[in-house]
Amino acid sequence: MKAAELIDMVRKTAKRKKIKIYLTGGYLRDSLLGRGKIRDLDFVVYGDTKKTAKTFASAIKGNLIELSEAFHIFRVTGKDGIICDFSRGRGKSIQDDLRKRDFTVNALAREINSETIIDTSGGIKDLSASLIRGTAGVNTFKADPLRLLRAVRFAAVLDFKITPETLKNIKAMSDLITKPAKERVRDELFKIFETKKAAGYIRLLDKLDLLEKIFPAIKNMKGVSQPGFHHLDVFAHSLETLKRLEEIQENFDLNLPEEAKALIRSRMNQKLGQFDRGTFLKLVALLHDSGKPKTKSKDKKGTHFYNHELLGAENFKKIGKQFKLSNEEINLGVTVIKCHLRTGYLSGLKKISKRAVYKFFRDAGDTAVELLLLSWADRLSARGVKVDKKTLLHHKKIIERLFTGYYELSTAKQVLPLLNGHDIMKHLKLPPSPVIGKLLEKVKEARATGKVNTKKEALEYLK
């Protein structure tokens, strides 16, 4: 069902119930900007909001969800993914309601039976100038501190600039960002990560004193130098890694067959909760070296960060729980951070054995694509004195070889295992125990590296 049809049905509902309904919010803003398909519609109701939403839900055979009993906000979802929100008007008139909105470009409305735009704060002018401006100075952010983050999110999504006065007010009110629920903060952050140039806006969050209040670990990363392979401190390097990751995702400048690239892109477009894997990986990139500050040490051989990947993985796990990430999301981030040095180790070998490649994919599990993308972005963002063109090119070839291996594994026909647990217990006269699983893994590794090819060979190998 098209937006115009839905609006027409709301118009009929308003006429039938003899109430005033206004179209407002993102749909109105984005339609004025001529932006593509818009799936979400917001309506302000001056009348019985629940009955209005219920009538509309029945008309489109959709589902009715109560978002807020206190503020009379109801959501109707349709079969084709359209979302329509109905909220009770705040104040005696729509003008009162609009004055309480967050930014001028969102403080627009039109009565459902009219084409006239109601603009109380210069929103149309700011739309034309591509500006994000708060409607009420610092009070904009006192009313809802999440708006501190939403200002940057709208700038990122719309490719707008935030006015100097609004930037000043955000920085002045930055302490308030700890007040909103972590889930709300998480969703705004991911909407920023969803854009193609999120790195610049994450940098802006830092300039506005918001980033380290959202992620306290960021504060410890600043000013931690890492001589040798790196030319930036830990925090600046992390931002550079995020920037490089976005460039890779956009251009995918690797020497791989087109079908392999298509498979990798498909993987990145897969949903992981509300957002896709490519978006989620940006958060991992930002936090992948959070374990470095506490693991920094020096000796005669130089500066070291022993086991920083393990501490970084633990940090991500804690952050993931705080921000109510799913277990799948947390496990992906933990695995990628824990293994993000593996390609560097492989790159340092004179010859990469089949066993080393097997172990890489075994340990990477379901995160191989994310791990390789982060590893390449990580390497590109490190341009210290120990990095030269030759080592960079060599590392790229390792990444390409592993991506090729991933494609081959993903498209290979499934083969039956040579042995099962009962075979091992029977032929080796072993009781059931965790040892059986370890022996099965040994057989898988031996087969993958060409040491065994038959059941008989596998049993002999285990003996």
pLDDT the model gives residue 412 = 84
User: Do 224 and 267 lie in a common domain?
Assistant: yes
The CATH number covering residue 22 comes to 3.30.460.10
Residue 371 lies in a domain: yes
For 40-69, letters b (16+ CB in 10 Å) and e give ebbbbbbeebbebbebbbeebebebeeeee
Residue 160 lies in a domain: yes
The stretch 79-102 carries a mean pLDDT of 91
Give CA–CA dist 60/79, Å, rounded: 9
Chain length of the chain: 463
More confident site: 386 or 419: 419
Residues whose CB is less than 8 angstroms from the CB of residue 274 and which lie 6 or more positions away in sequence, other chains included: 187, 190
**Which of 164, 195, 214 delimits the end of a domain?**
214
**Window from 92-96, 324-328, 384-388, 417-421 with minimum mean pLDDT:** 384-388
Domain that holds residue 457: 421-462
Residue 388 lies in a domain: yes
What is the distance of C-alpha 232 from the center of its chain? Answer: 24
User: Do 326 and 425 lie in a common domain?
Assistant: no
Residue 259 lies in a domain: yes
The stretch 333-360 carries a mean pLDDT of 92
User: Do 209 and 258 lie in a common domain?
Assistant: no
User: Do 116 and 142 lie in a common domain?
Assistant: no
The CATH number covering residue 151 comes to 1.10.110.30
Its pTM stands at: 0.90
More confident site: 336 or 389: 336
pLDDT band at 79 (very low <50, low <70, confident <90, very high): confident
User: Do 112 and 151 lie in a common domain?
Assistant: no
Give CA–CA dist 100/122, Å, rounded: 14
pLDDT the model gives residue 175 = 98
Residue 416 lies in a domain: no
pLDDT band at 52 (very low <50, low <70, confident <90, very high): very high
User: Do 149 and 201 lie in a common domain?
Assistant: yes
Domain count, the chain: 4
| Closest to 27 (Cα-Cα) out of 88, 151, 117 | 117
Please name the amino acid found at residue 85. D
Count other Cβ atoms within 10 Å, centred on residue 386: 12
The 10s digit of each residue's pLDDT in 245-292 is: 999 999 999 999 999 999 999 999 999 988 999 999 999 999 999 999
The 10s digit of each residue's pLDDT in 220-250 is: 999 999 988 788 999 999 999 999 999 999 9
User: What angle (nearest 5°) sits at the alpha carbon of residue 240, between those of residues 239 and 243?
Assistant: 90
pLDDT the model gives residue 441 = 92
What is the distance of C-alpha 309 from the center of its chain? Answer: 20
pLDDT the model gives residue 316 = 98
Residues whose CB is less than 8 angstroms from the CB of residue 412 and which lie 6 or more positions away in sequence, other chains included: none
| Closest to 354 (Cα-Cα) out of 450, 457, 439, 462 | 450
Q: What letter would DSSP give residue 39?
A: -
**Which of 392, 411, 430 delimits the end of a domain?**
411
User: Do 16 and 136 lie in a common domain?
Assistant: no
The 10s digit of each residue's pLDDT in 96-122 is: 999 999 999 999 999 999 999 999 999
The stretch 2-19 carries a mean pLDDT of 88
User: Do 233 and 365 lie in a common domain?
Assistant: yes
User: Do 103 and 197 lie in a common domain?
Assistant: no
User: Do 210 and 221 lie in a common domain?
Assistant: no
Burial of 128 (0-12, 13-18, 19+ CB in 10 A): exposed
Integer CA distances (angstroms), 295 to 230, 240, 305, 343, in order: 16, 21, 5, 21
| Closest to 357 (Cα-Cα) out of 394, 397, 401, 416 | 401
Residue 333 clears pLDDT 90, i.e. is over it = yes
pLDDT the model gives residue 40 = 87
pLDDT band at 81 (very low <50, low <70, confident <90, very high): confident
Q: Phi first, then psi: give them for residue 275, nearest 5 degrees.
A: -120, 170
Residue 29 lies in a domain: yes
pLDDT the model gives residue 293 = 97
**Which of 56, 87, 121 delimits the end of a domain?**
121
The 10s digit of each residue's pLDDT in 12-40 is: 989 888 999 999 988 899 999 998 677 78
pLDDT the model gives residue 71 = 83
Give CA–CA dist 167/129, Å, rounded: 16
User: Do 115 and 174 lie in a common domain?
Assistant: no
Give CA–CA dist 322/184, Å, rounded: 12
What is the distance of C-alpha 238 from the center of its chain? Answer: 15
Residue 434 lies in a domain: yes
User: Do 301 and 344 lie in a common domain?
Assistant: yes
pLDDT the model gives residue 223 = 95
Please report how many Cα atoms fall inside a 13 Å half-sphere around the Cα of residue 186, on the Cβ side: 16
